[in-house]
Amino acid sequence: MTVHLEDIKKAADRLRGIAIETPIHTSAVLNERVNARVFIKPECLQHIGAFKFRGAYNRLCQMSEDQRAKGAVAFSSGNHAQGMAYAAKLLGMHATIVMPSDAPSIKKEGTQRLGASIRLYDRATESREDIAAEIAASSGATLVPAFDDVDVIAGQGTCGLEIMQQLAARDCVPDAVLSPCGGGGLLAGLSTAIKETNSVTRVYGVEPANYDDHSISKAAGLRTRISPQLSTSCDALMATQPGEITWSINSKTVDDFLVVSEDEVAHAISFAFRYLKLVVEPGGAVALAALLHNKLDIRGGSAALVLSGGNIDSETFASCLQKYPSP
């Protein structure tokens, strides 16, 4: 199973007029800081504050009437949860979301506000996959993975399609595109859209330290599960193994993976607020952090990056601003 540009274009047709076509921003401060032309895709301005709505809607809107009547179930730390909840609401469906009890409160509250039911679980002692499977089996609801699903991947890929179309309108083909990477769904869709549009553009996935399963998998030459010893503020990127489908794509379409530290992420959040006038969550800021901290040399060239989400608790946001008041 895989995804091609034609699948992403069909997803774009389904999402037209429903998802937000987020703009492309530039920043003179950022361009000067990294000595390159940088184009920013703020998916923090998407419905529910993250790109995840794209994939969720593309998956749910293709379900039959009988499937819709039985509802959908998913497991997520928050952004897929909210994307599923809002897509289900628009389609007149019910959604049940299995969420970790330590998920950011803004994500749990957002999911409930959109009408979904939440089943909380303990990351340390319970399996979200088992819980979701039990709910699906008992209710007949359709289980929708957060990233390892071709329709979800195609929906996320519309972000990459928009990047290439928006930059083409500016007569620009970017030298590189950087995207956050957790389970790899956004990256798989985005990299497919970009490579099948222009194979010369390099694509990079960016992960937080301690949750760099894609980087480790690339070095090992095979899909690898990791056992992180430390946590991360990037709750949206806490996958411990690349998805089976996503890795089959990303291992071919992604040029390399970059890793950023917790401090570099906090600095990027503060930078985005001060200079880009955007609120970005930790997992959404990793690509910006990679450029700001010279993980990739793009001097004299051009790059696009995705700010994938903006669902950050006020306490976490305040701590980043306090730690880096002059980013």
Label each residue of the chain as H, E or C.
CCCCHHHHHHHHHHHCCCCCCCCCECCHHHHHHHCCEEEEEEHHHCHHHECHHHHHHHHHCCCCHHHHHHCEEEECCCHHHHHHHHHHHHCCCCEEEEEECCCCHHHHHHHHHCCCEEEEECCCCCCHHHHHHHHHHHHCCEECCCCCCHHHHHHHHHHHHHHHHHHHCCCCCCCEEEEECCCCHHHHHHHHHHHCCCCCCEEEEEEECCCCHHHHHHHHCCCCCCCCCCCCCCHHHCCCCCCHHHHHHHHHHCCEEEEECHHHHHHHHHHHHHHHCCCCCCHHHHHHHHHHCCCCCCCCCEEEEEECECCCCHHHHHHHHHHCCCC
Phi, psi (rounded to 5 degrees) for 63: -75, 150
Instruction: Give Rg (Cα) of the chain.
Output: 18
Same domain, 164 and 253: yes
Phi, psi of 257 (to 5 degrees): -120, 140
Tell me, what's the pLDDT at 147? 94
Q: Given this model, what pLDDT does residue 229 score?
A: 86
Size of the chain, expressed as the number of residues it contains: 327
Q: Check whether residue 77 and residue 192 sit in a common domain.
A: no
Which domain, by its residues, includes 274? 5-51+149-323
Residues 244 and 220 in one domain: yes
Q: How far apart are CA 321 and CA 229, in angstroms?
A: 27
Q: Which of 90, 124, 143 is the last residue of a domain?
A: 143
Judge if 40 and 83 occupy the same domain.
no
Distance between first and last Cα of the chain: 43
Assess whether 155 and 242 both reside in one domain.
yes
Q: Tell me, yes or no, whether 261 and 181 share the same domain.
A: yes
Confidence (pLDDT) at 78:
82
Residue with tokens 């499977």: 133
pLDDT of 262 reads: 97
Structure tokens at 87: 């897509």
The pLDDT assigned to 305 comes to 98
Give the whole-angstrom CA distance, residue 307 versus residue 178: 9
Q: Are residues 194 and 237 in the same domain?
A: yes
Q: Which tokens is 62 given?
A: 């293709």
**Same domain, yes or no, for 45 and 58?**
no
Q: Looking at residue 103, what is its pLDDT?
A: 86
Q: How many domains does the chain have?
A: 2
Query: pLDDT value at position 77?
Result: 79
The pair of structure tokens assigned to 302 is 């051009």
Each residue's pLDDT expressed in tens, for the chain with a length of 327 residues:
899 999 999 999 999 999 999 999 999 999 999 999 999 999 999 999 999 999 999 999 999 999 999 999 999 878 999 999 999 999 999 999 999 998 888 888 999 999 999 999 998 899 888 999 999 999 999 999 999 999 999 999 999 999 999 999 999 999 999 999 999 999 999 999 999 999 999 999 999 999 999 999 999 999 999 999 888 999 999 999 999 999 999 999 999 999 999 999 999 999 999 999 999 999 999 999 999 999 999 999 999 999 999 999 999 999 999 999 999
Residues 69, 45 within the same domain: no
Strands 142-143 and 302-307: unpaired
| Residue-wise pLDDT tens digits, 257-290 | 999 999 999 999 999 999 999 999 999 999 999 9
Asked whether residue 180 falls in the same domain as residue 302, the answer is yes
Q: Look at residue 124 in the predicted model and tell me its pLDDT.
A: 84
Q: What is the pLDDT of residue 123?
A: 86
32 and 174 in a single domain? The answer is yes
| CA nearest neighbour of 30 among 292, 327, 297 | 292
* List of residues 6+ apart from 151 with CB closer than 8 A: 11, 55, 58, 59, 62
